[in-house]
Amino acid sequence: MNACLRLLGLAAALLLPVSAVHAAQALGQLVSVEGVRENQLLGYGLVVGLQGSGDSTQVKFSGQSVSNMLKQFGIKPPEGNASRLKNVATVMVSAVFPPGYRRGQQLDITVSSMGDAKSLRGGMLLLTPLRAADGEIYALAQGQLVVGGVTAQGASGSSVTVNSPTSGRIPNGATVEREIETDFDTQPTIRLSLKRPHFRTATNIVEAINRRYGQLATTRDATSVDVIAPPDPTRRVAFVADLEVLPVDIGESRPKVIFNSRTGTVVISEGVRVRAAAISHGSLKVIISEMPQVSQPGPFGRGQTTVVPQSQVKVEQSGGHMFKWPSGVSLQAIIDTVNSIGANPDDVMAILQALDQAGAIDGELIVI
């Protein structure tokens, strides 16, 4: 049985015991507090100390970067000669600035090769400024790389690569030099932004908060809820911490069928139903084989030996399968039927697309 289909069966077994009424979840899992969020940082830098696995001379900006760095230390490279250093690689450095971090705190960073370096193993990142979307520098990064990938190459050119040797991490590799201001403690209200906008979920959040604290919460749409919060910063932090554990019933979303066209993964959520439909599914196989023949000239002829191409085309069509789903069939029945015919993920997707176009699926079909 196909591994993906076995995964579908396991997903069904896990989802079937869940009733139609969704269990309550903590409010902190459903919303994020506006103004208290992560920010992305990005920088461009150099990794040195590589064992000949750095950028080649084909990467022009690598030599320019080395020359610019040397000029900062008062060393003037020869004019017109690009630096040819195999122990240096140009990299992009990225980090996540958590909410509320102060000056002096440290961040984990990810370093990825930008040129054609073969490996960053053993390298050290030189001092690199990290900027946010506004162009300002918020952190400085530097340190020894931890690279999980490795590559090996023999004299004949054969090579083996495990994971990615051109990307690594530096734990606590960046230091915060500038804080990101927030208006969390200055506004009369705090806004809770739903991670999955839903009218019923937003309404349930308002009712749960007002039922516990009084008439403090209001909403204008399915994406956010405004809550009046204490003006004192200490009490406001405690209030938000209490809100995060408040149980809230989530609204029931429309069931979905998601198909990943790149990996062939098919996920069917609980609640998908199929109306009465008859389906016939078969496969057509075309086999083209090449058998070149060598044509030799006669013993005393003046001809030349030539290779004559000879192709053989064969078309095979396996027996098609036809089955019928009754109206209102459940997820488990869909999986059992599909597994019984030995369909692969592509077959599953073809069947589901045909059912969706026929209007026989009570759910949303999404292809990513």
For residue 211, the tally of other CB atoms under 10 A from its CB is 10
Span 184-205, mean pLDDT?
Answer: 88
pLDDT tier, 164 (very low <50, low <70, confident <90, very high otherwise): confident
Sign of the Cα torsion 320, 326, 330, 336 reads: negative
The full set of domains in the chain, from first to last, is 3-12+255-285+317-367 (no CATH), 21-36+183-249 (3.30.1360), 39-176 (no CATH)
pLDDT digits (tens, 9 = 90+) for 289-344: 666 777 777 776 666 777 766 656 555 555 556 666 666 666 567 666 666 666 66
Return phi, psi of residue 14, to 5°: -80, -30
Nearest to 113 by CA among 61, 44, 164, 167: 167
Model confidence, pTM: 0.61
Type of residue at 50 = L
168/144 Cα distance (integer angstroms): 10
Please, what is the average pLDDT of the chain?
77
295/184 Cα distance (integer angstroms): 84
Beta bridge partners of 358: none
Which residues, in sequence order, are CB contacts of 10 under 8 Å at separation 6+?
Answer: none
pLDDT digits (tens, 9 = 90+) for 253-277: 777 777 776 776 777 777 777 777 6
Rounded to 10°, the helix 3-15/331-340 angle is 160
